[in-house]
Amino acid sequence: MAKYRLDYIWLDGYTPTQSLRTKCMMKEFDAFPTLDQLPDWGFDGSSTQQAEGGDSDCVLKPVALYPDGTRENGILVMCEVMLPDGTAHSTNARATIAEDEGTWFGFEQEYFLMQDGVPLGFPKDGFPAPQGDYYCGVGFDSVGGIAREITDTHLDLCLYAGINHEGINAEVAKGQWEFQIFGKGSKRAADEMWVARFLLLRLCEEYEVSVEWHCKPLKGDWNGSGMHANFSTNYLRDQGGKEYFLKLMDAFEANVEEHIAVYGKDNHLRLTGLHETQSIDKFSWGVADRGASIRVPHSFVKDEKYQGYLEDRRPNSEGCPYKIASRIIQTIQSVSV
């Protein structure tokens, strides 16, 4: 028997943006445990905006586990929040996803690394050179100091955990970065995105650096941060067709408000029609158009097949991947094939 450190991870009940919470349990196992060997665990919901003090018990139900590369016998345990009667808590957006293993999601998470209240690489007073050299930049002047060490270490931690991390790059604004997570299955993709966020936040504690998830932390002529959602279904990948595609775009346009409602707070600051965005009050799609609501890759329209994946560029960096995936699936399922 060996003792394992189980770091249970969940989302609190704060609105409009939930935050990650964690607490640790030590438990003995003969070997690295399976998911069904992990116990449910309680917590004080009155301290996380998920219960009243007079009836504060909430339940953590493990839904995915990942080896933790920073700990001996360490395991990261992603959890759903449940009520004591076994039903999903109202803050449990994961439970709203109509799961379909044929639905694949790729999330592109942008964010800023901040120190002393400014992005890494910014002077303490004023601003660096305008945007231009930072995107996929190389060298101290482009990416600055410890940023690459943090992002490379984060990549390694995700890979050790078995997260389907697909890459990193410096983004358009100084101090802004991106990583990508892909999953075959919407819950899997969203689970892995939340654990990847957790690993980045915990890593940055060591550097006394903050992660700024807000979609528009810098005013002026600086790009905001998105979490573009690339999605496909069995039908889109295997059948597709122009008629179905146009019906699907009509459905997305008819549900603009429903999508924006769950695509992250303060999105009006980012979706202005500038900086590679469409205006928040408009809907558009376009081939290779990063100023559209939905970008259609060239590969999708090749040979007039209209087949493959699509990119919804409206979700922002602070959005919840569970809510985003749930809403996209609802709109897809509203279209007859």
pLDDT digits (tens, 9 = 90+) for 300-317: 999 999 999 999 999 999
Query: Which of 259, 78, 272 has its CA nearest to residue 181?
Result: 78
Domains of the chain with CATH codes: 2-96 (3.10.20.70), 104-333 (3.30.590.10)
Q: Specify whether the CB–CB gap between 74 and 7 falls below 8 A.
A: yes
For 264-306, how does the pLDDT look when each residue is reduced to its tens digit (9 = 90+)?
999 999 999 998 999 999 999 999 999 999 999 999 999 999 9
pLDDT of 22: 98
| pLDDT cut 90: percent of the chain above it | 91
**Dihedral sign, CA of 299, 300, 304, 305?**
positive
Instruction: Let me know if 266 is exposed, middle or buried by CB neighbors in 10 A (0-12, 13-18, 19+).
Output: middle
Q: Is the pLDDT of residue 101 over 80?
A: no
d(C-alpha 154, C-alpha 99), whole Å? 28
